[in-house]
Amino acid sequence: MQNSDQHPNVTVAFSESDAPSTLASAALALVAKASRFAAQKHSGQVRRSDNSPYINHPLAVWDILASAGVTDPIVHAAAILHDTLEDTDTTAEELEREFGAEVAQVVVECSDDKTLSQRGRKLTQVATASTCSRRARLVRLADKLHNLREGTLHSRPSSWSAQRVMGYFCWGHAVVERMAGTNEIIERQLIDTFEAPLDLDDGRGARPALLADESERAVALERYYACLDDSVPVHAARNN
């Protein structure tokens, strides 16, 4: 597995307003430390959707944010660390000790409560989307974009039914529409993803990934929720 701070497709963008070199150096040091920490914590884990090394996902979320003009190093670090609470033995206290209270708080806001059922977690993400901090909204938007575009539209488990795929897109839309106005670039990419052609191999040919009719989306969403509690989250990490 490639070392996270040597990932060839990830760059950190800083604006000229961040000018003092000491500030830029400190920001880069924070991101590099987060990359090393996440690579170690996710070592041996793979994505359930395509069996790729799990560290690729948080690095891709970071890349999305950097490419969208996000320059806040707290957001960059939190993006790289955003799944450590859910999918590793990391604690919030450890994150605060290693990266400070601001980074730890954003990661907490981006983490599901694992005492809840799968349905409960998904409903909570919808309910909290509009009330979490702007930093958390940025990370959550980029996370949704990567999961929807790369983990579902372009690559998804063969076991997923057409109904489940459509339901996942409806749920993703329910989350991100409550974060509108957070980052225009990422939101445009999400719209493009929802409108992208999707062939579910059900004999109906390609159609937009997101159902256009609101009432149809509501039905698909309820069916999606109904199938969750007996399943494992496909975009979560698992150990080899």
Tens-place pLDDT, residues 183-214: 999 999 999 999 998 877 666 666 788 888 88
pLDDT at 3: 35
- Portion of the chain with pLDDT greater than 70, in percent: 82
Q: Which DSSP string corresponds to 104-157?
A: HHHHHHTS--TTS-HHHHHHHHHHHTTTS-HHHHHHHHHHHHHHHIIIIIS---
To the query of whether residue 86 is one of the catalytic residues in this protein, the response is yes
Domain boundaries, the chain: 4-239
215: pLDDT strictly greater than 80: yes
Give me the amino acid identity at 177.
E
pLDDT of the residue at 202 = 66
What's residue 148's pLDDT? 92
**136 or 155, higher pLDDT:** 136
Integer CA distances (angstroms), 56 to 48, 77, 189, in order: 12, 15, 19
* End-to-end alpha carbon distance in the chain: 13
Instruction: Single out the catalytic residue among 87, 109, 150, 187.
Output: 87
pLDDT tens-digit series, residues 30-46 = 999 999 999 999 999 99
Average pLDDT, the chain: 85
Q: Would you state the pLDDT for residue 230?
A: 54
Say whether pLDDT at 139 is over 50.
yes
187 catalytic per annotation: no
Q: What is the pLDDT of residue 15?
A: 44
Report pLDDT for 4.
36
Q: Which residue has the higher pLDDT, 21 or 25?
A: 25
Query: What local confidence, expressed as pLDDT, does residue 236 receive?
Result: 53
pLDDT, residue 138, reads 98
Confidence band for 49, pLDDT divided at 50, 70 and 90: confident
In angstroms, what CA-CA distances link 238 with 46, 55, 126, 168, 179? 6, 12, 24, 20, 29
Q: One of 72, 86, 96, 98 is an active-site residue; which one?
A: 86
Which numeric CATH code is attached to 4-239?
1.10.3210.10
Contact yes or no for 168/211 (Cβ under 8 A): no
